[in-house]
Chain A
Amino acid sequence: MDNLKQAPVPEEQKSTDCRILNECRIAFPSLSANEGYARACAAAFCAQLDPTATEISDIKCAVSEGVTNAIVHGYKDSIGEIIMTLRMLPDRVVKIEIRDKGCGIEDVSRARTPLFTTDPAGERSGMGFTVMESFMDSLRVLSNPGKGTKITMTKKFSLIPRNRR
């Protein structure tokens, strides 16, 4: 038995355990029809954790925001490639990365401010980043003006017995 030989993991190491248990990656052109496709992919990937309806709804919303931003802001009037990577980490944590090689963001902290939008004519709410922040456990935004944007989000799924959902 392999696991009998393993030393127990010290407490402080547990939280930094970032072994990848599963990983899926999809690449697609920045067409708005793919917003629904990206949401469905993320929801299907997370289904292996037997999530609650609320957790699935949160994931779909956050992915939709990230992908829509790459489409409408990153690639504005052009079509480019979007890459979404879904990773399963230990302790029921899912990590989602969405990358574009679009225009990038000049001032990330200003962009993350609730209600801030550079496209007021487009009936945007400026709430995309706020949704990602509140529906997920963490959001990291890395952007390089002229080169592109990468957002990374994580969410830890609960362990609620089926009969109490």
Chain B
Amino acid sequence: MGVKLLLEHAHIEGIRFYDAYRKNGGYRSVEKALKMTPEEIVEEVKKSGLRGRGGAGFPTGMKWGFLAKPEGVPRHLVCNADESEPGTFKDRYLMEFLPHLLIEGLIVSSFALGSHHTYIYIRGEYVWVAEILEQAIAEAKLNGWLGKNILGTGFDCEIYVHRGAGAYICGEETALIESLEGKRGNPRIKPPFPAIQGVWMRPTVVNNVETLAAVVPIINMGGAEYAKIGIGKSTGTKLLSACGNINKPGIYEIDMTISVEEFIYSDEYCGGIPKGKKLKACIPGGSSVPILPANLLLKTAKGETRIMSYEGLADGGFTTGSMMGSGGFEVFDEDQCVVRHTMTLARFYNHESCGQCSPCREGTGWMYKILKNIEYGKGKISDIDLLWDIQRKIEGNTICPLGDAAAWPVAAAIRHFRDEFEWHVLNPAESQERNYGLAHYADPIHVPVAI
């Protein structure tokens, strides 16, 4: 059994409510943190090596260190609970079953950053989760963990829940800030960065739900202890939302030392693929990260076992690797069609583009239309190269990373599954009746031996 830091108490009955949560050691980290100085807390988080769990994996302590502290200007902490990446549903689980863990983390982090008004920006569709959070906030306030003069330390803090209106783009931190201000959720052009000018032009830190929840064990056990879990720069534990063709879809907390193979096949985690089918492909970190064929997923291009860590999943860069991303682990068995899947993702990004910058606004729709043609047997071989060229012209040339997120899945699908695209084009009638299947995607990759 791996270490559990976040989900340790998830199974306890009534843990959603204050009494059970407190009885099981809840809010200890607030008691401890409020006796420390804000700088000491930031130092602990730096020592822990915690990396942002929202997708980019940026070191949290470093991000906190960048926060500007001009005299007389309020600062804000914003919790990003917009979770709309296809395949990712770990934040929902945390908030739904352990709302007090997030609130505890928010109080400690707010104290460390000097935020007296902290916001949770939650995805609009999570209607019931927002209600759970509000209830938990009320309970916390009733018990003196929020409001004025918390624990008699003179620290004041309020947490507000702000509901989004159903836009993936509002998960991008600057679009989130605009939306929080009541404006259209268009990403801002950076610089200035939120750490200097964020909500209402005040210094702001935006962090993911899981990132802020992880602050609780870090304070409880100390940053240095936390950093001992995991390997390399992948410290602590990570929540993964596993879905697709697996026997046990759900939320798993892993320490980032296990192999991808173990994660998919062991009974402790996904429990293998139903009906004994074979693994064809996997998107290891949410829809935006590159898809990998089975052979590159389980082993790196060098022939080593691939580990479920930030570095492990990224091994090989985009040519033969992928990314940890937001932890949305999607598994595809031999019956799945990569072309169809890529089309579905292209439709998603086309639908979710904010429309500010031309490459993303126009390019996403174009890619979707071409993929639709290929999927429905109306494609041309030249369409595959055209898709490649379009994604290449979007990537890196847009205001926010949604453009990249739209380009990467298309690029990776063509890079690794070009045969399947070609088969679709060359066999228009057959491709409407059956899938390409596993083909050679699980065959061992030839690794040149060093001489």
Chains A and B come from one and the same complex: no
Chain A residues packing against B (C-beta within 8 Å) = none
Q: Chain B interface (Cβ within 8 Å of chain A)?
A: none
